[in-house]
């Protein structure tokens, strides 16, 4: 550049062009010189409130200094700019708020003639669409119906040039995961913090708008379009926000903001951002403050004490409001990034199990080095959220050496994750039915495992503060730790009720082969249903055979037939090579038949089962239970097949049995 040209530019370009063209607000404490207009205020928390829940108001907040959006060396090109901000829209009535907010570039911070409602405090019916406005806006609109007779709920992002009609718009949505191509709608007036990223390339004339939740920016933008802003922008423009309400009202907040010209906007520190105030609580606080002023004349000491008490209650209430019921029982919520990293992005190589609920992954926390098991509940499961909440609610407070320990959980949109201690020896099912000879369970190990399962069920049925019915006791839900002790797991189908109440479950759930006959008639699970499933498990562990097999094989019938011949030891698992204590084997097999009695009142309680296993009580005489008949013999409508089949039990489909609640 020639020296004379440089001097001309130096003295003709306004001094703000050479000033810092980047700024960052992690909260707006004391306003930091923002140019506020209309209803806009900065809350004590540092949240920028553009409008309150008042009707027909507008609010503006702009950075006080203009920014240069034309490069003097290339006046035909608009400068690139980048911004990211966190906003929250809190409607006065859920689903019926209005009207939205807009990120705005304008030649002035004054909008004296602008109207509220659909015009967002930027335009009016006379200048709407006028090229002389020189206004660029990205609107976050919560009400549809501009130009129509009636309004309706809106939830879209639009690109506006000089008017309220969008040249490009999309339903508010986000692709939440880096490798996920599925878009999911985000309700921008949910009251939750939402992050927006807006980037404009002055050379390519490409504009991108992305929205998502905190921490993880979606890989794909919501809007990507070609827009030439050369005729819209002036040499100097002010950057900020506008919002408005109408008959429908919302409180519109900006919690943090970063902006840059010809550079990428700096990352916000989400942990430093203020919380969105609760407008209802603020209103209550205002009333309380007016009362405190009148009390102040009587006693300043009482006022100070009242302030301390109210502040304490307010903090407690805010904390309680942010928690769901089941979260209160298990407050340890993991960060999604930590779980994602621990499992190597849920890589297939880390997968250690799969079932109707989803998949289980082995992971290692980088912060502690502890090994964990992560259950990732299926996102497309109709019962996914119910089972997720049920398992956390059940395991969150349960503590017993024969139950799997719940470490915590993570819920990020459709990703439902439950984190347990990692149990190294896998499931009892895999150890019983594996073809590897090196992992054959010895009888002493099997007997110890059976006693451990019984101890866990006794704790659930009688020793905890409530009754917990597991409803899916089977070998694949029993994990074996490093000391070969049993840990009962998978409480996604469990139910809780008080000790002095009756179970009210009315749907058949569980796994075919472990479901008692009365459940098909009444649908009401009880402690005796768990006892029945435990009885099937006793026979399976002793015999090494699954409850159902080919050629209509039924384990309970087979064991009963050999018992009636007087040679019950014939059914013992041949892989044991007859190395077992005869009295223990006979007792386990007979106890299995007793627990699977077709009359539920004839089955023992888990406390009685423990006394039998510990040889504290003898088994009842055989004539008390040898007349039992199999569930399968008593139900001619049952077709035998495995869990993954499409069979039905009477009018109940296997899908409802495996997945119903």
pLDDT tens, position by position, 203-253: 999 999 999 988 678 888 999 999 999 999 998 999 999 999 998 899 999
Write down the domain spans for the chain.
Answer: 22-267, 280-321, 336-421, 428-659
Give percent above pLDDT 90 in the chain. Answer: 50
CATH dotted code for 428-659: 1.10.510.10
Question: For residues 321-355, b (16+ Cβ closer than 10 Å) or e, as one string?
Answer: eeeeebbebbeeebebebbbebbeebeeebeebee
What is the model's pTM? 0.49
Give percent above pLDDT 70 in the chain. Answer: 76
* Catalytic residue numbers, as ranges: 472
Please enumerate, by residue number, every residue annotated as part of a binding site. Answer: 375
Question: For residues 549-577, b (16+ Cβ closer than 10 Å) or e, as one string?
Answer: eeeeebbbebbbebbeeeebeebbbeebe
CATH architecture of 22-267: Sandwich (2.60)
What does the alpha-carbon distance between residue 653 and residue 63 come to, in Å, rounded to a whole number? 63
Contacts of 311 (CB under 8 A, 6+ apart): none
DSSP strand E in 569-655: where?
648-649, 652-653
Residue 20 vs residue 79, higher pLDDT: 79
For 547-565, write each residue's pLDDT tens digit: 998 888 999 999 999 999 9
Token output for 387: 């089972």
Please enumerate, by residue number, every residue annotated as part of a binding site for ATP. Answer: 375
Which CA distances in Å does 588 have to 115, 209, 451, 531?
81, 66, 10, 14
What does the alpha-carbon distance between residue 252 and residue 98 come to, in Å, rounded to a whole number? 9
Output the pLDDT for position 649. 36
Output the pLDDT for position 286. 41
Output the pLDDT for position 301. 78
Residue 383 vs residue 19, higher pLDDT: 383
List % helix, strand, coil for the chain (3-state, nearest 5): 30, 25, 45
Output the pLDDT for position 2. 45
Q: Which stretch of DSSP H or E encloses residue 443?
A: helix 443-458
For 278-332, write each residue's pLDDT tens digit: 644 444 344 444 444 555 556 677 777 878 888 777 665 554 444 455 455 555 7
Average pLDDT for residues 457-481, to the nearest whole number?
92
501, 507 contact by CB (below 8 A): no
Residue 148 vs residue 83, higher pLDDT: 83
- Write down the mean pLDDT value for the chain: 81
Please report how many Cα atoms fall inside a 13 Å half-sphere around the Cα of residue 435, on the Cβ side.
Answer: 0
What does the alpha-carbon distance between residue 585 and residue 447 come to, in Å, rounded to a whole number? 9
What does the alpha-carbon distance between residue 171 and residue 154 come to, in Å, rounded to a whole number? 9
Superfamily of domain 336-421: Phosphorylase Kinase; domain 1 (3.30.200.20)
């Amino acid at each position: 550049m020639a020296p004379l040209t440089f001097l001309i530019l130096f003295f003709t370009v306004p001094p703000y062009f050479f000033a810092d063209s980047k700024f960052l607000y992690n909260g707006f404490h004391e306003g930091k010189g923002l140019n506020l207009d209309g209803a806009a205020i900065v809350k004590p928390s540092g949240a920028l409130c553009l409008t309150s829940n008042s009707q027909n108001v507008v609010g503006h907040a702009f950075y006080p200094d203009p920014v240069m959006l034309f490069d003097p060396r290339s006046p035909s090109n608009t400068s690139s700019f980048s911004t990211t901000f966190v906003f929250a829209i809190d409607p006065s009535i859920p689903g019926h708020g209005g009207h939205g907010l807009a990120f705005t570039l304008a030649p002035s911070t004054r909008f004296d003639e602008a109207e509220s409602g659909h015009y967002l405090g930027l335009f009016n019916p006379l200048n709407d669409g006028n090229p002389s406005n020189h206004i660029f806006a990205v609107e976050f609109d919560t009400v549809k119906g501009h130009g129509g007779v009636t309004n309706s709920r809106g939830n879209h992002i639009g690109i506006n040039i000089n008017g309220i009609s969008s040249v490009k718009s999309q339903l508010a949505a986000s692709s939440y995961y880096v490798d996920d191509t599925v878009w999911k709608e985000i309700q921008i007036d949910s009251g939750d913090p939402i992050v927006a990223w807006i980037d404009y390339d002055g050379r390519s004339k490409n504009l991108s708008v992305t929205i998502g939740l905190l921490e993880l920016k979606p890989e794909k933008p919501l809007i990507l379009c070609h827009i030439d802003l050369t005729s819209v922008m002036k040499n100097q423009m002010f950057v900020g926000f506008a919002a408005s309400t109408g008959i429908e009202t919302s409180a519109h907040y900006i919690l943090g903001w970063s902006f840059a010209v010809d550079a990428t906007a700096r990352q916000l520190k989400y942990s430093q951002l203020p919380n969105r105030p609760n407008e209802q609580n603020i209103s209550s606080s205002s009333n309380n403050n007016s009362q405190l002023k009148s009390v102040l004349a009587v006693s300043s000491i009482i006022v100070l004490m009242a302030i301390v008490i109210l502040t304490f209650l307010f903090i407690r209430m805010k904390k309680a409001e942010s928690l769901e019921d089941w979260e209160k029982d298990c407050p340890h919520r993991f960060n999604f990034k930590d779980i994602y990293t621990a499992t190597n992005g849920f890589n297939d190589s880390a997968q250690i199990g799969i079932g109707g609920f989803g998949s289980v992954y082995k992971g290692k926390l980088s912060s502690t080095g502890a090994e964990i098991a992560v259950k990732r509940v299926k996102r497309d499961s109709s019962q996914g959220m119910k089972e997720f909440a049920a398992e956390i609610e059940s395991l969150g407070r349960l503590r017993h050496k024969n139950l799997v320990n719940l470490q915590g959980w993570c819920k990020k949109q459709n990703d439902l994750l439950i984190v347990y201690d990692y149990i190294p020896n896998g499931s009892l099912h895999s150890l019983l039915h594996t073809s590897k000879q090196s992992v054959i369970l010895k009888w002493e190990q099997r007997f110890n495992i059976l006693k451990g399962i019984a101890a866990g069920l006794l704790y659930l049925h009688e020793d905890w503060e409530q009754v917990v019915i597991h409803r899916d006791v089977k070998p694949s839900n029993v994990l074996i730790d490093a000391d070969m002790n049993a840990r009962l797991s998978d409480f996604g189908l469990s139910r809780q009720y008080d000790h002095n109440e009756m179970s009210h479950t009315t749907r058949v759930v569980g796994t075919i082969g472990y479901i008692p006959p009365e459940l098909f008639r009444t649908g009401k699970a009880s402690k005796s249903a768990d006892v029945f499933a435990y009885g099937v498990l006793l026979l399976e562990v002793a015999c090494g055979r699954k409850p159902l097999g080919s050629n209509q094989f039924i384990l309970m019938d087979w064991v009963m037939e050999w018992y009636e011949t007087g040679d019950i030891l014939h059914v013992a698992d041949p892989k044991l090579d007859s190395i077992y204590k005869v009295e223990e084997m006979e007792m386990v097999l007979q106890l299995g038949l007793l627990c699977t009695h077709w009359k539920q009142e004839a089955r023992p309680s888990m406390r009685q089962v423990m006394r039998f296993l510990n040889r504290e009580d003898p088994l009842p005489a055989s004539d008390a239970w040898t007349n039992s008949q199999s569930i399968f013999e008593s139900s001619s409508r049952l077709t035998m097949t495995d869990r993954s089949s499409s069979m039905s039990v009477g009018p109940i489909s296997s899908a409802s049995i495996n997945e119903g609640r």
